[in-house]
């Protein structure tokens, strides 16, 4: 099961990188918001891989690992929300 989890974690990271590479090339405040949003997506993609690696390589206790994972996911969502806010400001002027 750990192998499947690791493979799925790699797929999530690849998906996050693919989303970054597929983003539209725009300028101004909209671009800054999109960059912030994409940083959040990358953090979300890596959060699961980091969780798996902490379990398998560093033998971090499950409760500690779950807290670390949730903190990383929370940071990722903060970036996503901040990116949307910046993009909205670009439209609102």
23-65: pLDDT as tens digits: 888 888 888 999 999 999 999 999 999 999 999 999 999 999 9
Residue 16, CA atoms < 13 Å, CB-side half-sphere? 22
If you write DSSP's letter for every residue of 13-54 in order, what string do you get?
HHHHHHHHHHS----HHHHHHHHHHHHHHHHHHHHHHHHHHH
pLDDT in tens, 55-66: 999 999 999 999
DSSP 74: H
pTM, entire model: 0.84
């Amino acid at each position: 099961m750990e192998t499947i989890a690791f493979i799925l974690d790699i797929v999530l990271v690849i998906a996050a990188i693919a989303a970054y590479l597929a983003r539209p090339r725009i300028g101004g405040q909209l671009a800054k918001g999109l960059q912030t949003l994409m940083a959040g997506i990358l953090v979300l993609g890596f959060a699961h891989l980091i969780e798996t690696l902490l379990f398998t390589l560093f033998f971090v206790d499950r409760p500690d690992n779950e807290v670390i994972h949730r903190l990383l996911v929370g940071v990722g969502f903060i970036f996503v929300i901040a990116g949307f806010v910046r993009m909205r400001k670009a439209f609102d002027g």
